[in-house]
Structure 1
């Protein structure tokens, strides 16, 4: 959706853009800043994030700058002078600095093209990282009426998107929501038994590569970082309890590849723009799927295959409950719903990619993602799941649906705890019914029954009770899937995993040599390594082994400026390596499988095209949006999007199949009210027209405007 997002900014149309981590949001405002007259202002929450983006832009020849509290007064004066002289295209500011009267007054004297608000979910109280200072950004539309405002985020539900638009007072914004799927990531959800051993198993597969280990508490961060260091892993901790200098130094060490692994709480992540994170491990369950999407999304931003391993246990749910109880209780119930949804994802037996995409209200068109523990066959299914389910459901009924997961598991496995005997539950027919199974396995099955809708948690203490589907299953009506974990599910890499494919054809020794040279150059310039070249570029250089600067220039990701600045240096390294080993040069025919993200997405895109063409055929027959939505079983909003594409591609000039003749007449008469293509002035003109008796929606206006443009 980059093209449409870029077009909105260039044309000055307010927008809300939701693209997944690594989906290229920053490009959507960086490119327009070079096209539009005036200076663009980017609102960003963290100093480190601003600095990384400005360093990257400057290295590509873009006139970008930032102003923050770490700079001297002289540096700030120099930047202000450049802004007055029209020498800056992009200015990065934190919301707190932007909203000072001094800054706002200064910017009103400068031609501002637009404002781009990064991490815009912070605006919404319903978002997963609400920041009150972001609410103040609503003044931008009043103070700068000629500048458009664009909100960008990686994770936002429909409720959050609407709240963002409302809080920022956006003018009829175009809302663009990209796919939440990250096909180059392999997801694994694994029961935690020996966390350090399980973490080490993943790290061992990625020795010398960058990775993040997330822990729930600061104490766990410190303990895990120390344990990894003792195992010979280059690791540092990161959490809000560290002093600012230590935290910043540790983050810089990770970004500049002086350390391989960062062990962190959720305080780490928003300020990280590192493309070559090869693995993300969660040593405990995150508190929401939104958080998991953000945190796991730190992996593989360069499009190369990467691992996301989540270690969880039933105790994580109670840990989060205790933490949430100590915080703001006003959103406690909603926060616990998010925790339970995350728990259901962990224990679920549905394709992980599909489950995440479906959670955000999107469809997943691939039958087998080939990139998660479920689809890779790493979970063994139980042979007779209905009988096993009946035993568990019967126990919940015998306990009169008054106990939680932990107690139910103890009864089923024959625990001799005094409280069970005191309650007389050791006399139940279901007591010790699964005594030959481990408590961990039984707990997993209970949670799988919850995730599949046969059991539900309710009340303050998350008591278990049967759903109507669960009562049917007691009568052997319905289907259920229960699994056992295979040994390989502890983080082992499947031969079918895209992780191995992304290295196909790569000269690993040359890659390591180029990576070391990149680190030296990054250290000299005091910039992150990816600012020089990303891992994807280095892998292609190590596949092709180009023999000339022209050959380097044909590698995707090496532009003219990078070629001029670094071409000779990297060509020299390639020459020396190939001469020492008498290796062939300019290798052609790099297999398509070495592009795992594209290869994984291809079946989905083909199916998506077929679905869209099906809609186009019905629109050609004159069917309405409602008729097409009903026939295809799709959401009305999705079908409206198909209609907009159809009108554009087919150059449709007659809107009458979708808008009544009377409404078309009124809309066409009001077109002159909009001089810049915005729909709101047209809507306001229609509302002021006493002849217009029916309400006319923005969707109807958009259809008529598009048809008129085609004429």
Structure 2
């Protein structure tokens, strides 16, 4: 028996490796740079813990969550391995014990959060601690395009170069793009030994459902699994608390868990979940990464996750022991609005937001899938598979119908409206609704106006949702969520390809739960999100609360009226002269998509006083009167300064006007300019 095999048995108590582990362990033990993508529950931690015991010196483990580090350190200590963690959650005694073990050379594994790498003393500490290997857990956190980006992960490459030691990186959620980014950022682009061990977890049953009394749906799912450990993920902190209470009231044992709780409360919840067999934790995504509880029998999502990676990682916490486990994910229109808004309000560059919308489309594609969900999930990660037989669509295939005509109508509306509008406006056009916006853009004159009256608004929303799930259309972050067609949509529009839709999704659209009232229409929501993102950026820069820049009601009015000039902006409620001068250009740039035209300081001052329109009309009146009403007199004009004074003071009679410009100019311009002032 080899030394590695002996340690596997004597320390960890395993008689053999799980599939895929042995090759990785051997490569890491030899000191090779390694990137390993393994399914959640596939035994990633053993692949760096065992080599750490085989090799001389100290292995530093970079890990993203305190709970993960604490659990692994306690598990290692329980089997006699010298391990410690330096985290913000340590007591003074725990930190002192780690430093003492380091100085005496006893420590084999040292866990730390990536944020600690920004501390000036960390590199000095590690240089004198005989570090011989770096292990990076949850390596996808290095991806700036990923769902769990942690900026301090970018420092790991610098640490590897400074210590000049091999590095092994592990993750369960990395598509090809993310894998390339990991190699570039952690290994300086030099290809490590790469092990792709697949993403399939065949013991986990996958199921999605359209929200229809979502609380009752979650309570029913949990009741059918009473006595089993489970996790319910929610989109907000408030929902974790209300749903945990509802579960307790129904006779279950449940705890809420979210980032707003005190550290001791979170620790107690984690401890109880590890120790109690029948406990349900209702949590935000703050819970679960690194929770090494093998017998979690089910995971439910009360709200749609934000990406396929998030979904895969969260359901992967069930069934780590290989025994059957179940999942349920609820989704509805509010989820899509919430997730799209999160993306649109992000300060990320346009390319990042576009990629995030595409990732959300991919998750929607799994939710709205027509055949085997596992096939759809694995294909996202680049794996092909047969129908699994262990998902709700394999259990009960949905009824499909030829939706080509409906989809072609929707695509035609997008094209006729110049790919410049969201689903809400497009549906109004298709249904022939004479809304203010339809009239404003003369879309009631288009050939597509009223061609979709066979479906109601909910049906059309469900059709557009399925189209996004097929990635036929995407929101354009450059045009505030306006839908544009992707390449696969073109042959459908041209009549060269057909498309099927799910009938059950359309049927459930009419009996879905109540839709939350939004601050603005779906059409204006992306612009409101962009304005809020700009407000947040300005408020953080000035270190003031967001409402000090502009109140919500002011941003709502901007989103609904879409001012095109500083003069338009001046008429928005809550935009005074000082704020217009300070913030006007910034918010106009968001609305216009580019910087507004430069304006002469005198003209700009008039805009801040609400007199800009008067100035423009006075200019126009002057142009018509330069040679007098007859058009034959000697040319005469007023200076910009004189026009500015007239616009600012707005004289009401000829005497006052004459005092501003003199009798000659008053004779030429007085009557027409006083009429302009009166009309405005």
**Contact persistence 1:214–1:263 (CA under 8 A):** yes
**Aligned residue runs from structure 1 range 286-685, under 5 A:** 286-330=305-349, 331-360=352-381, 362-366=382-386, 368-382=387-401, 384-390=402-408, 392-393=410-411, 402-409=420-427, 439-458=457-476, 460-465=479-484, 470=489, 472-473=491-492, 476-485=495-504
Deviation at 1:378, TM superposition (A): 4.0
**Contact persistence 1:195–1:283 (CA under 8 A):** yes
**Aligned residue runs from structure 1 range 114-153, under 5 A:** 114-145=133-164, 147-153=165-171
**Contact persistence 2:175–2:380 (CA under 8 A):** no
Q: Secondary structure at the match of 1:375?
A: helix
Determine the structure 2 residue equivalent to 1:235: 254
Partner Cα distance (1:389, 1:354) in 2: 24
Q: Secondary structure at the match of 1:91?
A: strand
Determine the structure 1 residue equivalent to 2:539: none
* Structure 1 unaligned regions, length at least 5: 491-711
Partner Cα distance (1:466, 1:65) in 2: 53
**Contact persistence 2:117–2:152 (CA under 8 A):** no
Partner Cα distance (1:135, 1:15) in 2: 17
Partner Cα distance (1:90, 1:469) in 2: 50
Pair 1:191 & 2:210 matched: yes
Pair 1:224 & 2:224 matched: no
Partner Cα distance (1:358, 1:485) in 2: 24
**Contact persistence 2:60–2:133 (CA under 8 A):** yes
TM-score (norm 2): 0.63
Q: Secondary structure at the match of 2:376?
A: helix
Q: Deviations over 1:163-219 (max 9, x none)?
A: 333333456522222212222222222221211122122212211212222222223
TM-score (norm 1): 0.61
Q: Deviations over 1:563-622 (max 9, x none)?
A: xxxxxxxxxxxxxxxxxxxxxxxxxxxxxxxxxxxxxxxxxxxxxxxxxxxxxxxxxxxx
Deviation at 1:409, TM superposition (A): 4.4
Q: Deviations over 1:483-532 (max 9, x none)?
A: 12389999xxxxxxxxxxxxxxxxxxxxxxxxxxxxxxxxxxxxxxxxxx
Partner Cα distance (2:355, 2:417) in 1: 27
The 3 A distance-change label for structure 1 pair 103 and 196 is same
* Structure 2 unaligned regions, length at least 5: 1-19, 510-680
Partner Cα distance (1:454, 1:310) in 2: 23
**Contact persistence 1:285–1:310 (CA under 8 A):** yes
The 3 A distance-change label for structure 1 pair 381 and 51 is same
Determine the structure 2 residue equivalent to 1:55: 74
Q: Deviations over 1:286-323 (max 9, x none)?
A: 22222222122222222222222221123323212333
**Contact persistence 2:60–2:109 (CA under 8 A):** yes
176, 184, 189: which one pairs with 1:158? 176
The 3 A distance-change label for structure 1 pair 69 and 174 is same
Q: Deviations over 1:674-705 (max 9, x none)?
A: xxxxxxxxxxxxxxxxxxxxxxxxxxxxxxxx
Deviation at 1:25, TM superposition (A): 0.8
The 3 A distance-change label for structure 1 pair 167 and 463 is closer
Q: Secondary structure at the match of 1:277?
A: coil
Q: Secondary structure at the match of 1:193?
A: coil
Range with greater deviation from structure 2 (56-65 or 68-77): 68-77
Determine the structure 2 residue equivalent to 1:632: none
**Contact persistence 2:228–2:277 (CA under 8 A):** no
Provide the alpha-carbon RMSD of the alignment: 3.5
Deviation at 1:391, TM superposition (A): 5.2
Deviation at 1:9, TM superposition (A): 0.9
Q: Tell me the number of residue pairs that the alignment of Structure 1 and Structure 2 aligns.
A: 486
**Contact persistence 2:361–2:474 (CA under 8 A):** no
The 3 A distance-change label for structure 1 pair 90 and 456 is closer
The 3 A distance-change label for structure 1 pair 473 and 247 is same
Range with greater deviation from structure 2 (372-381 or 407-416): 407-416
281, 294, 302: which one pairs with 1:275? 294
Partner Cα distance (1:17, 1:436) in 2: 52
